[in-house]
Amino acid sequence: MIELDDVSKTFTLHNQGGAVIPVMERAGLRVARGECVALTGKSGAGKSTLMRMIYGNYLAASGRIVVGDVDVAAATPREILDLRRHTLGYVSQFLRVVPRVPTLDVVAEPLLALGHGRAEALERAGTLLTRLNIPERLWQLSPTTFSGGEQQRVNIARGFAHDYPALLLDEPTASLDAMNRETVLCLVEEAKVGGAAIVGIFHDESARARVCDREIDVSGFTPGLT
């Protein structure tokens, strides 16, 4: 479902003398349906960078990044948008939403964008928020006013609103208490059962051991580290 071949990435800092910084070389990765693969490596090794490249958020310098039947490294913006809408979900560490929009709408948005009915979308959003212990009295408030942990859970609910066939999880269990952590891990397991191909970053080793089938150390792709 997710296949990376010989992917590399450099940053060119035009305003700092045109310095070219290679950050990834010959990255390769295969994730099948129903499989969860953990990216490991110490901080700065490029876990998030690789994940962002799969999402199309960072531009690959070379190589292939195939998700489903789209090569993200070569696709047009429109194809990537379509991929993100239907196929590829992403739970980032940051919640980026229009201020003032109620939490329930934030979570339902991916479903609305897919053309689901409003009632259906809100019901699904409500179910997820309930599971993630966001009290109903907060649903009509904007998540921008929430605590870090609450925002994180809203982000997760949003990421799981649609059953994406491919899913990227960036530290989904960080800053969660035991109960919510358990819920998130259940969501990941359910997604796997549902056939999702998942790439995740988990600092939480026991969580990683529980849901991930394999680990890939991205240090192997970091130029100058091997």
Partner 1 sequence: MTPLLQVRGITKYYGARLGCRDVAFDLYPGEVMGIVGESGSGKSTLLGCLAGQLEPDAGEVLFDTRADGPRDTLAMSEPERRMLSRTDWAFVHQHARDGLRMGVSAGGNVGERLMAVGARHYGDIRSQATDWLGRVEIPDDRIDDRPTAFSGGMQQRLQIARNLVTGPRLVFMDEPTGGLDVSVQARLLDLLRGLVREMGLSAIIVTHDLAVVRLLADRLMVMKDGHVVESGLTDQVLDDPQHGYTQLLVSSVLQV
**Would you tell me which residues interact with partner 1 (CB under 8 A)?**
11-15, 52, 56-59, 77-78, 80-81, 96-101, 112-113
Measuring CA to CA, how many Å separate 207 from each of 44, 52, 155, 188?
A: 21, 22, 18, 10
Instruction: Report in angstroms how near the CB of residue 203 gets to partner 1 at its nearest.
Output: 22
The residue (of 142 and 175) whose beta carbon lies closer to partner 1 is: 142
Cβ-based nearer residue to partner 1, 56 or 172 = 56
Token pair, residue 49, equals 């960078």
Is 9 or 208 the residue whose CB approaches partner 1 more closely?
A: 9
97 or 168: CB nearest partner 1: 97
Helices (H), the chain: 47-55, 77-86, 103-113, 118-131, 148-160, 178-193, 205-211
Q: Report H helices in 114-147.
A: 118-131
Compute the distance between CA of residue 67 and CA of residue 43 in angstroms, rounded to an integer: 26
Contact 83, 68 (CB under 8 A): yes
